[in-house]
Amino acid sequence: MLRNQSGISVYTVLSIILFVALVFILAVPNFYNLDKEKNVEDCINNMKQIWVATTDYMKDTNTDFNGDLALLAKTPKKQDPKNKYLSAMKFCPETSRQKSEYLVYGKYVAEQIGTEVKHNYGVIVLCPNMAGFYKHNIPKAFYENMDPTQLQNYMIEDMDYIDKETGSNGARKEEMLKKYIEIWKTDADAFQKRKTNLTALRAMLFPDKFSAPEPSVAD
């Protein structure tokens, strides 16, 4: 058997090298966040938790939510003061070394129906890295068992439309979703417009898709 001057066989040295290489190969994905599918899953789970926390907070306060996640992380639940609305701050796993907060917006609309007031809550959560990771998006199916309000359903349908229109173009998807949030922030009549016309808000984002046809010229 081949041995070096210290008496260690060449095969033993090779075995040690192969073992170290194997450990390194297995460790690299965790160290550098290279497991993309797991990152997608973890990011979506983060956004789901943020959506639930924001919705619960809005139901207890009947106000808009402008994205201060630290507020949710430090505020005790109204119905369960021992726990906070958000158990801990959440960050996208794609940038664990450079933490960027999720973009969150919640819209509250009180609708008078006869003598009763109907409370509508709509929450949008965006990954800060969507431009580079278009799959980091809460799927439409998530909301099915969450008892969404009419306003949230409008948002779900519109966001699903935006998702399909932008496809794998993460930068375009992020741009359109941010513009969509801005509509809800700045247009006081957005809820009524959307209630009256299914495509009202979508047309603001994709005017070419909903532009009126050119009038025909008579022969």
Does the pLDDT at position 187 exceed 80?
yes
User: What's the CA gap between 120 and 22, in Å, rounded?
Assistant: 54
pLDDT bucket at 5, cuts 50 / 70 / 90? low
Condensed to tens digits (0 to 9), the pLDDT of residues 63-95 reads: 999 999 999 999 999 999 999 999 999 999 997
Structure tokens, 75: 């505020």
**Inter-residue contact 40 to 136 (CB < 8 Å):** yes
pLDDT bucket at 219, cuts 50 / 70 / 90? very low
Does the pLDDT at position 162 exceed 80?
yes
pLDDT bucket at 62, cuts 50 / 70 / 90? very high
Condensed to tens digits (0 to 9), the pLDDT of residues 31-52 reads: 445 567 899 999 999 999 999 9
Does the pLDDT at position 216 exceed 70?
no
Tell me what pLDDT residue 19 has.
65
User: What's the CA gap between 125 and 141, in Å, rounded?
Assistant: 15
Condensed to tens digits (0 to 9), the pLDDT of residues 21-34 reads: 665 555 444 544 55
Opening angle at CA 9, ends 7 and 10, nearest 5 = 130
User: What's the CA gap between 187 and 97, in Å, rounded?
Assistant: 37
Tell me what pLDDT residue 113 has.
87
pTM score of the predicted model: 0.80
User: What's the CA gap between 188 and 64, in Å, rounded?
Assistant: 12
